[in-house]
Chains A and B, each alone.
Chain A
């Protein structure tokens, strides 16, 4: 850049400044993205740079939608693998990569982070956090990805640190401890960068933590605010907990929320009250477990909440990505909830618009005056065991959904499964798993079934569904190419017609999929990426 300025100045004497500046500006426009930093404005306007994937869900609305259309329904059949990156980790890969100006940033098990050349998959840097041996993860040593802002990417770790890494080297810029991992606190979530803050929610609903959502100054790591998802004495909602049960009330916040700049609100979902499957000892609604929270982005103060499952006894975390949908002039937020209902709320007020079952459910036959499904009495777990649908893993879970504004359909991975829920009283002990219950596959029930479903948010109707051989943990991507991408439990990556659900292409990756796909472009060529087994795969046109 300096050299160009110099040339421009030198050329001034020749009276050709104007054309030089034009050349300079032209060069500059091309040069800026390769070294430019991710500003909060770029995050806000992510739709203007579809070649990049700047947040966990691809945009602040949580849509996991790419407006790239080079790969489309006409040519998807010819997709080929472009490169594969082996992370060297074992266990499940649940993360979604970010791509910024030709560099792919991603995470893997045991708090690895890495940057790759997005064209070739060759590593630029690798980082691995020193994870203590006695961490308390819920469900594997997983991580779901990074946030990016300025010259830093942000990682939440299994021992409850929040770490900023230099985007060019992976060097640690700052490292703060959010909570005591010895008591069951951990991070698995991809953080969300909003304005100059890094927002992150804690995991630990299996350990009787007191859940929270934190915001850190992206530049320094100083904590700017914390919202406890279980209110303390004197705070509204505290009365929804019996005795001291709030102290170990759970309500973790382990999946990435969304951000509405128009109202300056962060929408963040919360998980189960602790213990997850035993309501005895925590009488009340147990606010703000299994809720969607609307928080002021600057202060962390709550504007409104909506609780999906009151006094949950089935481990139905409401931590699914809340997706902002604009329809018929209405500003809505939609969530395909783990409890089997597809909820649409007004995102200005949190008022419930509709709740429709999108999978097999037996726990609720009725709705309250607001239209919220309410639990049947006999749905509660018993000592002997009692079959309830969905099972503890839910109708969906952490599988990231997608909303495509062109088809106006919401795509989500669905499991039809029932479990026997049986209580197993257990004393709380700090740092020890605290379920208070057990669940088992039900012998009477049908075998588990898995689907990709396309839901019309306006009506809750299922427009089409694709049944998998067995239930999958893969998330979903939709694109302007008229495509939906997903993975399956047997290792296939699949492209379907977004309008009909017809399979157009598939590729066997050799490892089960627990991650969600994303799309990006480098040098004008579109790629689609997903993690399977312990590797990251990218695909493109031949």
Chain B
């Protein structure tokens, strides 16, 4: 065999292996790209069970959103559009959020590809096609948020606003419209729930704290953090107080939110719709 033909043969081998690798790659891509169960009601049913076991703790029974995860019945999702993107998100998680990668929650080896596709099929089967903002006027909502409705006195959106209440930039992308409306109309309802270990990586629950210091000073604010012996509070003027419980004259914790109850006479349905539309428009970014 001449040197040239040896080289040619080697090239041939190299080309063949490149082709094999490319073929393998495209086959893998195809496996993650296409939902083999799209619109299959049986797969959706199996996916519902898998969803309850693996997803519902955060995303709620029926995928309507829960203590932490977004409402997945919404057709427009923040992080994903196609089934393939959804597959990637379930497989790999979303960095910087509490959405974990499949198989990384300390419980076993995670779901099979087939089970993930079944879950995606289920989620597609419960999606509501109607637009999430239900016709509110986001531009007017923004004016209200920062103006007459006084939301921004306590809440921050995209770096602007107050600090006493929860930051709301992401809320429109992660909560249902109903949940946002409910938390405006009944602000204490969610506080009464409490958070579980699995959903609290930082445990702020916005309980209302009323404390009297040894020198008789009254402090009222939201709990930033608390343990058996100390409490960190922010008052309505955004002052932070760091207190040791055994040095206080009195200490009271309540799950009545400091947020005013916005009944329709204080904030009309129309105004609230517009504010929700604004929050959803920000959350969808």
Contacts and interface: CB of A to CB of B under 8 A. Distances in A.
Partners in one complex: yes
Interface of A: 91, 134, 136-141, 184, 206-207, 385, 420, 422, 424-426, 431-433, 435, 437-438, 440-441, 443, 446-448, 468-471, 488-492, 494, 503, 506, 508
A138 B108 CA distance: 6
A433 B61 contact: no
16 contacts: A134-B109, A420-B61, A422-B56, A422-B61, A424-B52, A426-B53, A432-B108, A432-B112, A440-B61, A441-B199, A447-B255, A470-B203, A489-B197, A490-B228, A492-B229, A508-B229
B226 interface: yes
B107 A422 contact: no
A141 B228 contact: no
B100 interface: no
Contacts of B107: 137-139, 206, 433
Contact of A432 (B109, B194, B199, B203): B109
Contacts of B66: 440
Contacts of A422: 52, 56, 61
Interface string B205-242: 00000000000000000000011110000000000000
A426 B50 contact: yes
A431 B108 CA distance: 8
Contact of B228 (A137, A207, A420, A506): A506
B67 interface: yes
A136 B110 CA distance: 9
B227 A492 contact: yes
Given A426-B53, A443-B193, A494 B108 contact: no
A134 B108 CA distance: 7
Contact of B106 (A91, A207, A432, A440): A91
A424 B62 CA distance: 12
Interface residues of chain A: helix, strand, loop or mixed (majority): loop
Nearest to A506: B229
Nearest to B115: A432
B227 A433 contact: no
B192 interface: yes
A469 B56 contact: no
A15 to B, nearest CB: 67
Contacts of B108: 136-138, 184, 206-207, 431-433
B125 interface: no
A440 B53 contact: no
A432 B203 CA distance: 32
Interface string B133-167: 00000000000000000000000000000000000
A426 B118 CA distance: 13
B53 A508 contact: no
Given A137-B106, A140-B106, A441-B67, 4 more contacts: A441-B193, A447-B193, A448-B194, A490-B228
Contacts of A139: 106-107
Contacts of A488: 227-228
B106 A141 contact: yes
B196 interface: yes
Nearest to A470: B203
A424 B56 CA distance: 11
Given A137-B106, A490-B227, A506-B229, A440 B49 contact: no
Contacts of A134: 109
A468 B228 contact: yes
A437 B53 contact: yes
Nearest to A466: B228
A424 B109 contact: no
Contacts of B227: 469, 488, 490-492, 508
Nearest to B110: A433
A385 B197 CA distance: 21
B228 A433 contact: no
Contacts of A443: 193
A207 B109 CA distance: 11
B57 interface: yes
Contacts of B61: 385, 420, 422, 438, 440
B229 to A, nearest CB: 6
A420 B199 CA distance: 16
A203 B56 CA distance: 25
A489 B196 CA distance: 12
A65 B66 CA distance: 43
Contacts of A441: 67, 193-194, 196, 199
A425 B52 CA distance: 10
Contact of B52 (A138, A438, A494): A438
Given A206-B108, A488-B228, A433 B53 contact: yes
Contacts of A385: 61
A137 B106 CA distance: 7
Interface in B59-116: 60-61, 66-67, 106-109, 112
Nearest to B48: A424
A492 B228 contact: yes
A139 B247 CA distance: 39
Contacts of A438: 52-53, 56-57, 61
Contacts of B203: 470
A424 B228 contact: no
A488 B229 CA distance: 11
Contacts of B109: 134, 136, 431-432
Contacts of B67: 441
B45 to A, nearest CB: 9
Contacts of B53: 424, 426, 433, 435, 437-438
Contacts of A447: 192-194, 255
Contacts of A508: 227, 229
Interface in B160-200: 192-194, 196-197, 199
B196 A426 contact: no
Contacts of A432: 108-109, 112
Contacts of B193: 441, 443, 447
A468 B203 CA distance: 14
B18 to A, nearest CB: 29
A420 B61 CA distance: 10
Q: Which 4 A-B pairs have the closest CB atoms?
A: A447-B194, A490-B227, A424-B52, A438-B52
A91 B105 CA distance: 11
Contacts of B197: 471, 489
A363 B223 CA distance: 34
Contacts of A137: 106-108
Nearest to B45: A425
Nearest to A419: B196
A253 to B, nearest CB: 19
A488 to B, nearest CB: 6
A207 B192 CA distance: 35
A456 to B, nearest CB: 25
A440 B194 CA distance: 12
A140 B104 CA distance: 9
Nearest to B189: A443
A184 B57 CA distance: 23
The CB with the most chain B CB atoms within 10 A, among A206, A426, A432, A438, is that of A438
B284 to A, nearest CB: 26
Nearest to B207: A447
Nearest to A140: B106
A440 B56 contact: yes
A91 B196 CA distance: 17
A264 B53 CA distance: 43
The CB with the most chain A CB atoms within 10 A, among B53, B107, B194, B229, is that of B53
